[in-house]
Amino acid sequence: MKIALGPLLYYWSRQSTLDFYAQIAESEADIVYLGETVCSRRHELRLDDWLEVGEMLADAGKEVVMSSQALIESESDLKALRRIVGKAEFRVEANDMSAVHVLSAAGRGDWIAGPTLNIFNPQTLSLMAESGATRWMAPPEMSGEVLTELLASGAPAIETEVLAWGRLPLAHSARCFTARHYNLQKDTCEFRCLGMKDGLVLRTREGEPFLTLNGVQTQSARVHNLLGDLASVRRTAQVLRVSPQGDHTVEVLKLFRDAVADEVSPQDAFRRSAEWMVEAPCNGFWHGRPGVEQYVKS
């Protein structure tokens, strides 16, 4: 069982980002996904900086993956994508079919099919494997039962990864909701999301935290937490993804390591994780329920 750190979805300052990955080099993560996947206007780290971070992490023994942007809109987005694919030393996570096309055209046969590719059945997964994917991440909305059925129905031999910790990435838009909050347009956003270490919480009019605005991405407010469900997760996935958060990511990775190594029971791990969550937990998607629910089998 491998533990992966997903790409950083928020926009942190250059120094905070570099400090964060310096800690990750010493962390329990086996795999680290790097790069900007949310917004092409975020440039605290350029591709060369990300590659430098990648080399540092690879030297520390981590498997490094460069993640591509989820929403590709412009020629410059495609240019950035082609540059990532051209850097042969790291594997690439394809988060859009454009990336699949560019990777296949480049003859790369070692990439990861990301969570936004909408792989919901073994036929589509096989097509991705034939195109060169050697690992895939299930869409976060897929339940454990559906995933189990998929894998039992003629799926190719390919590593399966599951989002096990972090705010759920729920939607992408052309519009930047963070800029909108400040009455700004995306093109002149003044980088207002910079330094919001866990995004901007949107609450219902009853004060209930509901969603998180993260630029053009909308996330859950709650933290998707599968620590308590590790028994069933382990039966299906070979890789568990932890999504970076403002504080305590290293502690969360350690807790996953201990739980996977059976040094702490899933229930105890779940209890201990409470102090590191930015919001209440949820696991509904894994149980085929509304994602917002914290579902406990009675």
Partner 1 sequence: MTTHTKIELVCPAGSLPALKTAVDHGADCVYLGFKDATNARNFTGLNFDAKAMAEGVRYAHDRKRKVLLALNTYPQASNWAGWTAAVDRAADLGIDAIIVADPGLMAYARKTHPDLRLHLSVQGSATSYEAINFYAERFGIQRAVLPRVLSLAQVEQVIANTKVEIEVFGFGGLCVMVEGRCALSAYATGESPNCNGACSPGKHVRWEQTPQGMETRLNGILIDRFADGERAGYPTLCKGRFDVNGETYYAIEEPTSLNTLELLPDLARAGVRAIKIEGRQRSPAYTGQVTRVWREALDRVMRDADSFTVQPAWIAELDKVSEGRSHTLGAYYRPWK
Residue list 61-90, contact with partner 1 (CB under 8 A): 70-75, 77-78, 81
Question: What whole-number distance in Å separates Cα of residue 290 and Cα of residue 222?
Answer: 12
- Rounded least distance, CB 120 to partner 1, Å: 4
Handedness of CA 253, 256, 262, 267 (dihedral sign): positive
Interface with partner 1 includes 140 (CB under 8 A)?
A: yes
Smallest gap, in angstroms, from Cβ of residue 85 to partner 1? 11
208 CB-contact burial (10 Å; exposed 0-12 / middle 13-18 / buried 19+)? exposed
Least Cβ distance, residue 125 to partner 1 (angstroms):
8
Binders of partner 1 in range 146-165 (CB under 8 A): 146, 149-150, 152-153
C-beta of 20: minimal distance to partner 1 in Å? 25
Q: Give Cβ neighbours of residue 120 (< 8 Å, ≥ 6 apart).
A: 139, 142, 146, 150
Integer CA distances (angstroms), 290 to 116, 142, 169, 273, 294, in order: 19, 11, 14, 22, 9
Residue from the set 13, 23, 173, 267 that interacts with partner 1 by CB under 8 A: 173
Nearest to residue 227, comparing CAs of 254, 192, 197, 201? 254
- Determine which residue in the list 37, 104, 225, 249 makes contact with partner 1, applying CB under 8 A: 104
Most distant CA pair in the chain: distance in Å?
53
Write out the residues near partner 1 by the rule CB under 8 A: 70-75, 77-78, 81, 96-98, 100-102, 104, 116, 118, 120-128, 139-141, 146, 149-150, 152-153, 168, 170-177, 180-181, 185-187, 200-208, 210-211, 213, 218, 220, 284-285, 288-292
